[in-house]
Amino acid sequence: MGRTRVAFQGERGAFSEEAAYVLAGRTISPVPCRSFETLFETISTGKARYGVVPVENSLVGSVQNNNNYILDYGLHIVAESHLRIVHCLMGKPEITLKKIRQVFSHPVALDQCRRFLRRYPRIEPVSYYDTAGAARMVSESTRTDIAAIASPLAASEYGLNMLRKSIEDKKINYTRFFLVSKKSRPFKGKAKTSIVFAVKNLPGALFRALAVFALRDIDLTRIESQPSRKKAWEYHFFVDFKGRIDEDRVRKALAHLREIAHFVKVLGCYPLETKR
Amino acid sequence: MGRTRVAFQGERGAFSEEAAYVLAGRTISPVPCRSFETLFETISTGKARYGVVPVENSLVGSVQNNNNYILDYGLHIVAESHLRIVHCLMGKPEITLKKIRQVFSHPVALDQCRRFLRRYPRIEPVSYYDTAGAARMVSESTRTDIAAIASPLAASEYGLNMLRKSIEDKKINYTRFFLVSKKSRPFKGKAKTSIVFAVKNLPGALFRALAVFALRDIDLTRIESQPSRKKAWEYHFFVDFKGRIDEDRVRKALAHLREIAHFVKVLGCYPLETKR
């Protein structure tokens, strides 16, 4: 029997691959995808059963297009996970910190390690398209004065030596990942539900939409506005709340929301992650 | 007397430079900055009186860090403008569309011209750090088979020939720019106000915060959640509304908001742009 195929964006050793193991288990077959578009096509065409999608980072904010992709491809969110982002400096086994003159990584990762990099002004930070890609490039290069900033998984994937662990400026650096699929998945216990809705651009419209949750003591855990991409300055609101889609008060809240919003779609109902 | 110095991010010919002329007049002295951090430092240290900051695009959404920079540097928003983003294909005067094998631009710009690029599969799109930078590189290169996608201003800045105008997939492609400064600026007439606030992570907290506007018929034009960067999954809400900061109902709304939110800051009050 084949192992479950789980698509992720990036090269082997990406943070998304780490999230794939957390979300879908160690025995999966990870399917690396060049871009998010490829990832969503891979799930949509059935070449992978699940996909791992970063949607939000506690420092940088929303990974905007991924919310829209989930909506556009009509996929279901079946699980969530909050992964702590640990950036490590890594080089070939023979390299020491002293020898390094250039360090390669994704611009966001370089930005998140600014304090560390300031302490070593002779190391020049160089932007690279991907953290794991930078690790691979360093492992394949003949140069002995370069390093990469990437995940611990990337170090083991490419046989690199971790010179410094956890060099990120802020430790509250978490990324929230969704596991998405063409089909929803039954489960028991506490749940979270993700929806998206749009209201007319009228005074108080959003307030009235949020009333359907507040009046029923439903706890919103995220609200995010994204351009609708249909009309300038019209928004979709991506909202997550604690509750099961089959609960009475949730059903009533969504029916109430449909009276107010001209567009409502449930993106998924999935187990509430108890530990962050 | 010296001309007013206005800082913008990017190379000469960037969309932000175009916005600088719209927001501060044709007679300014534009000051290009390598990064947004440099831009905010340039204003903060008085090397430029104003800065032009993109904050939101109608297709892509928020330019996230810029909202945080305005907050962190304690600057005032003194004007806003919505600029239509027109992408043009440009090359050296001797180049024709047939000869082009590679086109350089910022990944977001390439992504926004996907339909056009699909019609010319023999032209390879290549990511570059900046649209105007791509135009400059093309103008300086000896290659005769490359082009750039950038603004009309970039074409005239670098003496390039516009091969195709307005090749973006969607015409509702607008970017909202703020003019920011260390000092606020008096003005008459209709206004918009930008604030940021934070509420405790309790059920209904955001609903109660929005009530202070809804109960006074104050029209919100934007609400955007951004990570607070102090605690994971705690948010700042960036809110814009129609109204002057010295209006009675606005003063009362903000006083009411301070009862509910544990953090409230006014980022600026500026003339309402009448035409979009």
Tens digit of pLDDT for each residue in B69-80? 999 999 999 999
Q: Is residue A107 within 8 angstroms of chain B, CB to CB? A: no
pLDDT of residue B268: 98
Residues 6+ apart with CB under 8 A from B224: A225, B56, B62, B67, B237, B238, B239
Q: Give the tokens for residue A168.
A: 């990120």
> What's the mean pLDDT when you consider all of chain B?
93
Q: In the block, which residue shows the tokens 């209904």? A: B204
Residue A50 pLDDT more than 70? yes
Q: Give the pLDDT of residue A276.
A: 46
Residues of A in contact with B207 (CB under 8 A): 207, 210-211, 213-214
- The mean per-residue pLDDT over the stretch B42-47 comes to 96
Percent of residues, chain A, with pLDDT higher than 90: 80
Give how far the C-alpha of residue B57 lies from the chain's centroid of Cα atoms, to the nearest Å. 7
Whether A273 and A81 have beta carbons less than 8 Å apart is answered as: yes
Distance CA B82, CA B174 (A): 6
Is A227 in Cβ contact with B219 (below 8 Å)? no
Q: Is pLDDT larger for residue B59 or for residue A20?
A: A20
Q: Is B1 on the interface with A (CB under 8 A)?
A: no
B25 φ/ψ sector (left φ>0, alpha ψ -120 to 50, else beta): left
Q: Where are the beta strands (DSSP E) in B151-190?
A: 161-164, 174-181
pLDDT for res B162: 96
Q: Between chains, do B233 and A276 touch, taking CB under 8 Å as contact?
A: yes
Q: Assign A55 to helix, strand or coil.
A: strand
The alpha carbon torsion through B261, B217, B79, B87 (nearest 10 deg) reads: 100
* DSSP 8-state class, residue B42: H
List A40, A104, A116, A177, catalytic entry: A177
pLDDT of residue B106: 87
Rounded to an integer, the average pLDDT of A11-30 is 95
One-letter amino acid for residue B236 of the chain: H
CB-based contact, B29 to chain A, within 8 Å: no
Q: For A66-70, A134-138, A272-276, which range has the lowest pLDDT when averaged over its residues? A: A272-276
Question: Cβ(A196)–Cβ(A76) under 8 Å?
Answer: no
Query: In the predicted model, what is the mean pLDDT of residues B118-128?
Result: 91
- Using the Cα atoms of residue A12, residue A17, residue A18 and residue A22 in order, give the sign of their dihedral: negative
- Quick check: B276 pLDDT over 60? no
- Within 13 A of A17's CA, how many CA atoms are on the CB side? 22
Q: B161-170 pLDDT, tens per residue?
A: 999 999 999 8
Tell me, yes or no, if A142 is annotated catalytic.
no
The single-letter code of the amino acid at B229 is R
Q: Are B264 and B254 in contact (CB under 8 A)?
A: yes
> pLDDT band at A275, cuts 50/70/90?
low
- Asked if pLDDT for residue B130 goes beyond 50, the answer is yes
Query: Mind listing the pLDDT tens digit for each residue in A86-98?
Result: 999 999 999 999 9
Give the Cα-Cα-Cα angle B206, B224, B69 (nearest 5 degrees). 120
B233 touching chain A per CB within 8 A: yes
* SS3 call for A118: helix
For position A207, what pLDDT does the model report?
95
3-class SS at B40?
helix
How does residue B1 score in pLDDT terms, banded at 50, 70 and 90? low
Q: What is the mean pLDDT of residues B219-244?
A: 89
Surface-to-core class of residue B275, CB atoms within 10 Å of its CB (0-12 exposed, 13-18 middle, 19+ buried): exposed
Q: How far apart are the first and last CA of chain A?
A: 34
- Chain B: nearest CA to A105, how far in angstroms? 15
pLDDT on residue B37: 87
Structure tokens at A96: 């020491």
Residue B138, SS3?
helix
Q: Please compute Rg for chain B using Cα positions.
A: 21
Residue from B176, B233, B276 to probe the interface with A (highest A Cβ count within 10 Å) = B233
Instruction: Please tell me if residue B210 touches chain A, with a CB cutoff of 8 Å.
Output: yes
Q: Which amino acid, one-letter code, is at A186? A: P
Is the pLDDT score of A55 beyond 70?
yes
Write the CB contacts of A255 (distance below 8 Å, at least 6 apart in sequence): none
How distant is the Cα of A151 from the closest Cα of chain B, in angstroms? 20
Q: Is residue A15 over pLDDT 80?
A: yes
Strand partners, B166: none
What tens digit of pLDDT does each residue of B194-227 get?
A: 999 999 888 889 999 999 999 999 999 989 888 8
| pLDDT of B257 strictly over 60 | yes
Average pLDDT over residues A46-54: 97
Q: Which of A110, A106, A266 is nearest to A193 (CA)?
A: A266
Active site annotation includes B237: no
* Chain-chain contact of B129 with A129 (C-beta, under 8 angstroms): no
Contact A223 B218 (CB under 8 A): no
Q: Which residue of A has its CA nearest to B172?
A: A232
Q: Of B198, B61, B269, B264, which Cα lies nearest the Cα of A60?
A: B61
Query: At what angle are helices A36-44 and A64-72 packed, to 10 degrees?
Result: 20
What single string gives the DSSP state of each residue in A70-95?
Answer: HHHTT-EEEEEEEEE---EEEE-TT-
User: Which of A127, A207, A222 is opposite residue B211, by nearest beta carbon?
Assistant: A207
